[in-house]
Amino acid sequence: MRVFEGASIAWEQADPAHFTGRARVKRADADDPAGPAKVYRVEFEAEARTNWHAHSGPQVLLVVEGRCRVQKWGEPGREVGAGDIVYIPGNERHWHGAAPGSPMTHIALTLAAITRWLEPVSDEEYAAAGSLAGGGDPALSDEEVDAVLRPIDERGAAR
């Protein structure tokens, strides 16, 4: 078992080559970068966002505070809020970031994955992503979260 105390993890500025706007990151895997689970606490200022990117393995975003815009390539974007969970399958091209008007924090859990960074999200793509704010069913239910994490438990890689 390993405990990462938040106060003891240093903040890093998010790489401006992969983010639009200001964001900062705490990495819980700093001393084991080759481990199978990558855990990041990311704080985005209002309208800050990642570039389009994909991970070779799945990613789970746990929105801690604020409103988060997320979009899968080829589909409309949407907003989710604090307490929502977003599951992103491996190799799915996507982006995420803070909605306008307020900052957003999420915990990102990436499993056995390498990130492939792509082009920035345009201002037009970002603006259009808010068109489904609060609509649909963007978050996973407790049962869906358990179904996603159950195989991880069986491999002993996380949880």
Model confidence pTM above 0.85: no
What CATH number corresponds to the domain at position 50?
2.60.120.10
Domain region containing 95: 6-155
Distances (CA, A) of 55 to 39, 83, 109, 121, 144: 14, 23, 11, 17, 20
Q: Which residues contact 124 (CB under 8 A, 6 or more apart)?
A: none
**Structural domain count of the chain:** 1
64 near 128, Cβ under 8 Å? no
The 3-state DSSP class for residue 19 equals strand
Q: Which residue has the higher pLDDT, 147 or 156?
A: 147
Per residue in 104-114, pLDDT (tens digit) is 999 999 987 89
Is position 1 within any domain? no
Is position 89 within any domain? yes
